[in-house]
Homo-oligomer: A and B are copies of this chain.
């Protein structure tokens, strides 16, 4: 079995979107995926690209992907965020995920950032065990906080801040 990990192209985005949806289904959030192929192509390619996506190929078919982008830590400077790492569910346990993970770490080291970071669901024991065995550190004393567009608009309206 020969796995090839390479940078994605716009033509890969339909397969990447399929993998995004697979991961969202696994995370019990399938209805949360609002993104389209067109958005992935617009935001991931060209001179204003915000993310970089790697894909794993097996027999010329895309069977996994890892998507990263730059962040900025006011403690460490530029860092890289691993947003998604997904492998076809019927091909797990064959090292495809690890090949993608290694590629992301190589990319971060080459880019000379001080930190790679991501998030994991607290019940995803397999992922947590893998991350910890690879040397990553879990931070359990932070909560994520989110405000979606409708709540932002509501906040501004309530606080008379539309202008």
Contacts and interface: CB of A to CB of B under 8 A. Distances in A.
Interface of A: 20, 23-24, 29, 32-35, 39, 43, 50-51, 67, 69-78, 81, 83-84, 102, 105-106, 108-109, 113-123, 128, 131, 134-149, 151-156, 159, 161, 163
Contacts of A136: 145-147, 151
25 contacts: A33-B74, A35-B76, A35-B77, A39-B77, A50-B70, A50-B72, A67-B74, A69-B71, A71-B71, A71-B83, A73-B83, A102-B155, A102-B159, A109-B152, A116-B152, A118-B145, A120-B142, A134-B147, A135-B147, A135-B155, A137-B147, A137-B151, A138-B145, A140-B143, A142-B144
Contacts of A145: 117-120, 131, 136-139
B75 A147 contact: no
A66 to B, nearest CB: 11
A67 B140 CA distance: 23
Residue in A23, A81, A159 whose Cβ sees the most chain B Cβ within 10 Å: A159
Contacts of A120: 142-143, 145
Residue in A33, A69, A72, A113 whose Cβ sees the most chain B Cβ within 10 Å: A72
A103 to B, nearest CB: 9
A117 B131 contact: no
Nearest to A23: B74
Contacts of A116: 146-147, 152
A76 to B, nearest CB: 6
